[in-house]
Every structure is written in structure tokens, then in C-alpha cells.
């Protein structure tokens, strides 16, 4: 039971104590007991009012004046009726009436007295763009028991409230189950700023933010027809010579080291691709693919399948390309569809995807998506990332393709993620890549003209930080396979320490070095 639940009872007992006091006074009986009850109820009332989570404005200008008026009215009635037969009816009426009035006191007071701020303004602001149509706002309630009050508060706007993240498995380690979606009718979208202001002043919430849409922005290129010089990889994937990143990053030496040292994983790490879906039947993926839901096992857009191939295509299977997982003992890959077939998604949908991935045991969560944010901080994203981290997952995200500071993009700028910039074959920052110099955990990986899987057993070359991100996710998967307890901070420290300089090291961060990582991890054993 919350502290607010005691409020109506403390006031009702105080009012009944006043009635009792007048009754005992009329009977010329001792008033000690009713006086004690009155002062005890008054003390409880004062404590409850002080400790409730409602705003000072609400308490001083609404709650206390209204309650004082009720106290005066009840006192006058009790004094006038103390010798009449209506006194007992008064006592019963005070009890029943007060309960009916105050048991839903939050919503009643706001709806009746907070005017005109809780009524739709006749002056409409410009309707916002880039928000989810099924719920434009995400709100974190102080206590879900206050949902009725919030509904009454916003009644004039005709909004609908639904739980934002109802599938959270471990509610004790997160506040995500306190989040609700607020769906604003089309006619009221111009009042969204007023609604946000009303929510912040109410004292009912901890946070409100706009539920923005996110998208992917790959830069497609023509198929890679050149070769980078076939290295001695010791594998039979026919298109490996077209994967320039393997040549530049000495993946041949990395594979050779794993074989010579007999490196064996402690577990098969799970990499979750949060994207447009993945073609589960692709010839170069199905050996490493595990299904989370059947609806996620197809990809009409191709972006998710491309990312999955970079992270976890089957190595040494005689078809297509290869990943950093030398054999199928290291990693498995799964899909969680958070973007539409057109490449769009919403903040709440992506967060629900993070939650699902974490609850399904993902070791690495890879997100090649994002968008600009109008909020100073993305609390819901950060809470979801903390939830995933607490369940053992490392979250890796794309820096974005706007050639700007990645601090302006979410989830790239969120706390607790490893953010990936893109470099080209000359080890320069790709022209489109955002820079990560102002982020705590920025790293670089190949992201231009990257050959990988697309639906229907086909292959294509795409460019973008979207492609660089699963490269890092694949390496993190191998790292988690060798050391399952590895945290995000430990993983980033190792990537940074063993990384190589690019030609723009400040903007890109260190370039991942698979062989360096593997040698460092073997030394730690």
C-alpha cells in the first residue's frame, strides 16, 4: 500500500474525531479519548501530506485549503446538530461522504480545480512529427497505483494509457514496468506541449519523453566485384576474397592463432539482431540461426539479414562468406524484428525488443538503427540498456550516417552502449559516418562496401555504420563465448586497448583488432 492510500483515511478519522468531540461535549462526558483520536489523526494527516509524492503546488494550493474547508464545515455542522436527532446521521454521512470524495482524491481535485491548464487550449501548437501514432508519449509513473489519477488528470484530452513494456520478466531489477504509453488523439496533438507540462507539474510521474520513430539508413553500393588479395584463411568460403575487411584486419592471422592455440569456447554465445528481421533459411546463416519467434524469421527489407551475415555467417561451409566465428561452437544468431519492412520503428518497440532479447538470454544485442532525439536524455532507453546489462548482455549500436557528432543520435549516445563508427578500406573514417569522440565507449569497424547475406540465398554490398556494428557484435560474441561473465566495460576496455589507430583516430575511436583481442584474452586465462 502506498503512502497516498493513507491520506483519505487520516482525514476521515480526523473529521470523525471532531464529530465525536462535539458529541461527548454535549453529553458532558470526558473528551480525552476523542481529543487523543483527533490529535493522532491530525499527526498522521500531516505526515501523509508531507511524504506524498505530489507537488508542493498541489499540496499548498489545493489539498490543504480544501481539507481545511471540509474541517470547518464538518465542525460547524457538528456544533449545530450536537443536540438533535440528526447527529448520528451526520456522523455516518461524514464517514461515507468523505470516503467517496477522498478515495479518488487525486483525479477529482485535478479535474475540478486545476483549470484551465488541464483543459484543451483553444490555441493549438504545431502538431509534432516523427512520433509513434499508437502512443506519442512515454511516461514513468512514480507509482502505478496512481494510474487512475493520471487518467482523470488527462481526461479532458481524451488520451488512452497502456503499459509500455508489459513483458518485462524481472520487474525487481528495473523501473520499466512503471512506464506507460500515452496515445493522444489526432485532434489534440497540437496540445502535446501543454500535456507534457501538466504531467511534469502533477507530481504523479518521474519522467516523460516523446516516443520517437527510428529508422535505418544504409547506403547501398554496387556489388563488390573486386578482390583484396586472398589471404591464407584456411577456410573454404568462396567469396572470402571479396571481404576486404578480413584482409585489412589480418583475420587470417586471427584464424591461425585460434587453431594453433586450440582456443575453445565455454559456451555458444547468442547474438540478437534487432532489425527488419532475418531470413532464417539463408544458406550461409541457417547453420548458426536460432529462432526467437517465427514472425522474425523472414526479412522483406534485407537490412537485418545483411547485418546477421556480418555478425554470424557460417564459416568454412563451402558457400558465401565468413564471420569471425571460426566454427559453429562460438556463436549463434537470432532475430528480433523491431523495424518495419520499410525500415521504420518506434522507441517503445525497440525497447521492447531489447527487453525480449535480454529475457531470451542474448549475450550481445546488435542495433543498426537510430535517429535524432529532441530529449535532453533518453531515460527509457538507458533503463532498458541497464536491464540488458544486468542480465549479462552487451549492447552495441551504430553511430549513425549523418556525418555529425554521435551525441545527437539515439541510442548511440545512451549510457552503457558500445557505439560503432565506420571506416573504409583506406582505414579512414567513412564520409557518411558520425564521429564518436565525445562518447565514453566509441570504437571503429569496417563499414564501407561490405559484402554480406541478403534474403533468398543472395549476397550484396552495403555501406553504413549499420554494417560496422554487427562486425563488432560478432567479435563481442566470440569474446563472450570465451568469457561469458565479461561485462560491457571489460569488453570495451579490451577492444580499446588492443585496437589500432585509424587515419582519423580521434573521430572514429580505435579500430577493432580481432587477433589482438584473442591474444589478450588468452593471456588472461
Clarify whether residues 177 and 88 are in a common domain: no
Last residue of a domain, one of 162, 190, 211: 211
Better-scored residue on pLDDT, 70 or 131: 131
| Given the residues 275, 279, 284, 363, the one annotated as active site | 275
Residues sharing a CB contact under 8 Å with residue 171, sequence separation 6 or more, in sequence order: 177
Clarify whether residues 198 and 228 are in a common domain: no
Does some domain include residue 314?
yes
Residue 11: band (very low, low, confident or very high) from pLDDT cuts 50, 70, 90: confident
CA–CA distances in Å: residue 131 to residues 9, 215, 397: 42, 12, 21
Clarify whether residues 51 and 142 are in a common domain: no
DSSP secondary structure letter of residue 31: -
- The average pLDDT across 193-213 equals 91
Instruction: Using the structure block, give the residue that is written with the C-alpha cell 474547508.
Output: 69
- For the chain, the domain total comes to 3
Residue 42: band (very low, low, confident or very high) from pLDDT cuts 50, 70, 90: confident
Domain of residue 452, CATH code: 3.40.50.200
Clarify whether residues 280 and 187 are in a common domain: no
| Given the residues 178, 303, 306, 433, the one annotated as active site | 303
Spatial distance between the Cα atoms of 465 and 13, rounded to a whole number of angstroms: 64
Does some domain include residue 119?
no
Clarify whether residues 201 and 260 are in a common domain: no
Spatial distance between the Cα atoms of 479 and 136, rounded to a whole number of angstroms: 39
316, 322, 267, 256: which is closest to 519 by C-alpha? 256
Clarify whether residues 283 and 199 are in a common domain: no
pLDDT winner (highest mean) among 91-100, 113-122, 306-315, 369-378: 306-315
Does some domain include residue 503?
yes
Does some domain include residue 253?
yes
List the grid coordinates of 294.
517465427
Spatial distance between the Cα atoms of 307 and 195, rounded to a whole number of angstroms: 39
Domain residue limits at 460: 219-524
Q: Can you give the pLDDT at residue 56?
A: 58
Clarify whether residues 184 and 66 are in a common domain: no
Report the relative pairing of strands 344-346 and 213-215 from DSSP bridges: antiparallel
Least confident of 10-24, 127-141, 164-178, 194-208: 10-24
Clarify whether residues 172 and 71 are in a common domain: no
CA angle centred on 372, ends 367 and 378, rounded to 5°: 75
- The average pLDDT across 394-409 equals 95
Q: Can you give the pLDDT at residue 126?
A: 52
Q: Can you give the pLDDT at residue 252?
A: 96
Residue 420's CB is within 10 A of a number of other CB atoms, namely 35
Last residue of a domain, one of 55, 78, 103: 103
Spatial distance between the Cα atoms of 462 and 49, rounded to a whole number of angstroms: 60
Query: Could you give the 3-state DSSP secondary structure of residue 365?
Result: strand
192-207 core/surface letters (b: 16 or more CB in 10 A; e: else): bebbbebbebbbbbeb
Clarify whether residues 395 and 285 are in a common domain: yes
Does some domain include residue 110?
no
User: Helix, strand, coil % (nearest 5) of the chain?
Assistant: 45, 15, 40
CA angle centred on 441, ends 354 and 508, rounded to 5°: 115
Q: Can you give the pLDDT at residue 123?
A: 38
pLDDT in tens, 156-180: 999 999 999 999 999 888 999 999 9
pTM for the model stands at: 0.77
Q: Can you give the pLDDT at residue 58?
A: 55
94, 109, 96: which is closest to 4 by C-alpha? 109
Better-scored residue on pLDDT, 201 or 473: 473
Clarify whether residues 166 and 236 are in a common domain: no
466, 460, 462: which is closest to 434 by C-alpha? 466
Q: Can you give the pLDDT at residue 18?
A: 75
Clarify whether residues 63 and 199 are in a common domain: no
Does some domain include residue 306?
yes
Residue 69: band (very low, low, confident or very high) from pLDDT cuts 50, 70, 90: confident
98, 101, 188: which is closest to 137 by C-alpha? 188
Last residue of a domain, one of 58, 77, 103: 103
162, 167, 138, 170: which is closest to 386 by C-alpha? 170
Better-scored residue on pLDDT, 45 or 259: 259
- 303 as an active site residue: the answer is yes
State the chain's mean pLDDT as an integer.
Answer: 86
Spatial distance between the Cα atoms of 90 and 83, rounded to a whole number of angstroms: 12
Does some domain include residue 143?
yes
Q: Can you give the pLDDT at residue 10?
A: 75
Q: Can you give the pLDDT at residue 108?
A: 41
pLDDT at position 114 over 70: no
Amino acid at each position: 500500500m502506498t503512502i497516498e492510500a493513507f491520506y483519505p483515511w487520516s482525514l476521515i478519522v480526523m473529521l470523525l474525531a471532531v464529530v465525536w468531540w462535539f458529541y461527548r461535549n454535549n453529553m458532558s462526558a470526558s473528551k480525552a479519548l476523542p481529543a487523543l483520536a483527533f490529535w493522532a489523526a491530525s499527526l498522521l494527516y500531516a505526515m501523509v501530506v508531507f511524504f506524498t509524492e505530489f507537488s508542493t503546488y498541489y499540496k499548498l494550493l489545493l489539498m490543504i485549503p480544501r481539507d481545511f474547508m471540509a474541517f470547518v464545515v464538518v465542525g460547524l455542522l457538528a456544533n449545530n446538530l450536537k443536540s438533535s436527532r440528526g447527529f448520528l446521521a451526520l456522523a455516518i454521512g461524514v464517514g461515507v461522504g468523505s470516503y467517496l470524495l477522498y478515495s479518488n482524491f487525486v483525479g477529482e481535485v485535478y479535474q475540478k480545480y486545476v483549470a484551465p491548464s488541464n483543459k484543451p487550449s483553444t490555441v493549438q501548437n504545431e502538431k509534432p512529427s516523427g512520433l509513434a501514432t499508437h502512443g506519442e508519449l512515454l511516461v514513468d509513473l512514480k507509482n502505478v497505483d496512481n494510474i487512475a489519477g493520471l487518467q482523470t488528470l488527462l481526461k479532458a484530452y481524451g488520451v488512452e494509457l497502456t503499459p509500455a513494456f508489459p513483458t518485462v520478466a524481472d520487474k525487481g531489477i528495473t523501473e520499466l514496468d512503471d512506464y506507460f504509453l500515452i496515445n493522444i488523439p489526432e485532434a489534440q496533438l497540437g496540445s502535446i506541449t501543454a500535456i507534457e507540462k501538466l504531467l511534469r507539474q502533477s507530481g504523479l510521474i518521474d519522467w516523460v519523453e516523446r516516443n520517437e520513430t527510428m529508422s535505418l539508413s544504409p547506403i547501398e553500393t554496387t556489388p563488390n566485384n573486386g578482390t583484396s588479395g586472398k589471404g591464407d584463411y584456411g577456410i573454404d568460403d568462396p567469396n572470402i576474397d571479396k571481404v576486404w575487411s578480413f584482409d585489412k584486419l589480418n583475420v587470417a592471422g586471427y584464424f591461425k592463432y585460434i587453431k594453433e592455440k586450440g582456443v575453445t569456447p565455454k559456451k555458444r554465445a547468442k547474438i540478437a539482431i534487432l532489425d527488419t528481421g532475418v531470413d532464417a533459411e539463408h544458406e550461409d546463416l541457417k547453420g548458426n540461426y536460432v529462432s526467437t519467434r517465427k514472425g522474425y524469421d523472414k526479412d522483406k527489407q534485407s537490412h537485418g539479414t545483411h547485418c546477421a551475415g556480418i555478425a554470424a555467417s557460417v564459416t568454412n561451409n563451402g558457400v558465401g562468406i565468413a564471420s569471425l566465428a571460426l566454427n559453429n561452437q562460438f556463436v549463434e544468431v537470432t532475430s528480433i524484428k523491431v523495424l518495419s519492412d520499410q525500415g521504420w520503428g518506434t522507441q517503445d518497440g525497440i525497447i521492447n525488443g531489447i527487453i525480449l532479447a535480454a529475457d531470451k538470454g542474448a549475450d550481445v544485442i546488435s542495433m543498426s538503427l537510430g535517429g535524432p532525439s529532441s530529449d535532453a536524455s533518453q531515460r527509457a532507453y538507458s533503463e532498458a540498456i541497464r536491464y540488458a546489462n544486468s542480465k549479462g548482455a552487451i549492447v552495441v549500436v551504430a553511430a549513425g550516417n549523418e556525418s555529425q557528432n554521435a551525441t545527437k543520435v539515439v541510442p548511440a549516445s545512451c549510457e552503457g552502449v558500445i557505439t560503432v563508427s565506420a571506416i573504409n578500406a583506406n582505414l579512414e573514417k567513412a564520409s557518411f559516418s558520425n564521429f564518436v569522440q565525445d562518447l565514453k565507449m566509441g570504437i571503429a569497424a569496417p563499414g564501407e562496401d561490405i559484402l554480406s547475406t541478403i534474403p533468398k540465398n543472395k549476397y550484396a554490398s552495403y555501406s553504413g555504420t549499420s554494417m560496422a556494428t554487427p562486425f563488432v557484435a560478432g567479435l563481442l560474441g566470440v569474446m563472450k563465448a570465451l568469457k561469458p561473465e565479461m561485462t560491457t566495460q571489460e569488453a570495451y576496455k579490451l577492444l580499446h586497448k588492443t585496437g589500432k589507430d585509424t587515419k582519423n583516430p580521434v573521430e572514429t575511436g580505435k579500430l577493432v583488432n580481432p587477433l589482438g583481442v584473442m591474444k589478450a584474452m588468452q593471456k588472461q586465462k
